[in-house]
A = this chain, B = another copy of it.
Amino acid sequence: MENLNCSLQTLRRLPYYLYYLRHCDEEYVSATAIAKDFRFNEVQVRKDLAIVSKTGGSPRKGFITRELIHDLEEFLGYNNVNDAIIVGVGHLGKALINYAGFKDYGINIVMGFDRIIKTEMLIGSTAIFPMDRMKNLVKRLKIKLGILTVTQKSAQYVCDRMVDAGIKAIWNFTPCMLRVPQDVMVQNENMAMSLAILSKHLNEEIDNETQALIGALEE
């Protein structure tokens, strides 16, 4: 599974390039320009692009924007649409269902499931079913991607059922570390991680201020 011909870090940067390119109306784009705008290292960007670009860039001009977008989308698999289910339809689940942007990433949320639902219902134009219909539906529709937005408590249980239904990639919005078989990938959307980084930054800043203050007082 780790036979990514591209490093994880690169893979993480690619969506930024794609976003940038999609909002760019120049015919050509250079790695240099992208690096400058993102304040990334120039070589890094060039190497990243070299991985995805089929034709490569021309010296002095750069890459053909349209082509590069296409290569990126193809590399990331945004061309083949990935159908997805979402399990757990609380605030976050609803927000994701209503988020229109997924189609730009080749994701199509076809249905949702929730414990509490006893009979089929709609959220926007998305049908929500009771949990016990998941396995059948997912298997029948051969859906491989599942979005997990349930509570912590039921996270592992629901995860197991998703795997059992044939889900191969789970986008995990719970703070739990899920146990899955080798062939299933979990991508953690870990807000706690971000919060940790921010919190540390803020507290270090406060420390710095305090020390500056102490320094000033001592003078």
Residues on A lying within 8 angstroms of B by beta carbon are 1, 3-4, 8, 11-12, 14-16, 18-20, 37-38, 75-78, 80, 82, 91-92, 94-95, 98-99, 101-102, 105-107, 144-145, 168-169, 171, 175-177, 183, 185, 187, 189-206
Known: A191-B189, A200-B76, A201-B185. A95 touches B105 (CB 8 A): no
| Identity of the chain B residue whose Cβ is nearest the Cβ of A84 in the assembled complex | B198
| Identity of the chain B residue whose Cβ is nearest the Cβ of A15 in the assembled complex | B192
A-B contacts, 16 of them at CB < 8 A, read A11-B197, A16-B192, A19-B176, A76-B200, A77-B203, A80-B206, A82-B199, A91-B94, A91-B95, A91-B99, A92-B99, A95-B95, A105-B192, A105-B195, A105-B199, A189-B194
Q: How far is the CA of A203 from the CA of B3 in the complex (A)?
A: 12
Known: A4-B204, A192-B15, A193-B12. A199 touches B91 (CB 8 A): no
Whether B3 lies near A196 (C-beta < 8 A) is: no
Q: How far is the CA of A80 from the CA of B201 in the complex (A)?
A: 13
Which residue of B11, B102, B193, B199 is within 8 Å of A106 (Cβ)? B199
Residues of B within 8 A of A190 (CB): 12, 15-16
